[in-house]
Chains A and B, each alone.
Chain A
Amino acid sequence: DAKTTQPTSMDCAEGRAANLPCNHSTISGNEYVYWYRQIHSQGPQYIIHGLKNNETNEMASLIITEDRKSSTLILPHATLRDTAVYYCIVRVGSGGSNYKLTFGKGTLLTVNP
């Protein structure tokens, strides 16, 4: 699976959009981009995933660049409860080692009042 690079930490004001970047310059054509988050002392929670096109769900939006070498997770209106570590993961979507999620250190997002 391709390696990802994320900033160690970010701050965001409550009510504003939080934009979390992720670089995955070695991503292969059959690899998806996934985002999970982990609130302190809890299990990770799936947020969103995508292959090429931008994706949106009730939690967030995922913007993937045309060359697929980077992506941005957008929380449109951050709340204090969005304070968490956000993990960007790149992996093959099917077959082979599709069981495995490789978590890096992620980005600690702190939403401030």
Chain B
Amino acid sequence: DGGITQSPKYLFRKEGQNVTLSCEQNLNHDAMYWYRQDPGQGLRLIYYSQIVNDFQKGDIAEGYSVSREKKESFPLTVTSAQKNPTAFYLCASSDPRQSTGLYNEQFFGPGTRLTVL
């Protein structure tokens, strides 16, 4: 089945530790995204990548880092510099060439809930 997988579903870390969240897609999509969601809030964009070996900061990139070495993978590292890392993290992908070519519908993974102890 085609889709986006994120692992693990739940993640706990101690304060001051870096942690990497996995995101893999087999949809052959060029673009991938990372969002953060806090309780009762909408999604906020952390980083996005429109093509392999390229990525751009979103609205709240501070304290996060990403890499895009392969088309199907876009891991997110939450560093110790992120002051409030406890949140629900969502990865998405899209293909800008789909449908009318005007809109790239974003497909989301199931999310990773990170808790910092």
**B38-56 interface bits toward A, Cβ cutoff 8 Å, 1 = contact, 0 = none:** 0011111100101000000
Pick 30 A–B contacts, CB within 8 A, sort by A.
Answer: A32-B102, A41-B88, A42-B111, A43-B90, A43-B108, A44-B106, A44-B108, A45-B108, A46-B106, A49-B103, A49-B105, A93-B100, A93-B102, A94-B101, A94-B103, A98-B103, A98-B104, A99-B31, A99-B94, A100-B45, A101-B45, A101-B106, A102-B42, A103-B42, A103-B43, A103-B44, A104-B42, A105-B40, A105-B42, A106-B42
Closest to B106 in A: A101
Contact of A44 among B43, B48, B102 (CB under 8 A): B43
Task: Report how many residues on chain A are interfacial, defined by Cβ distance under 8 Å.
Answer: 21
Chain A interface (Cβ within 8 Å of chain B)? 32, 34, 41-46, 49, 87, 93-94, 98-106
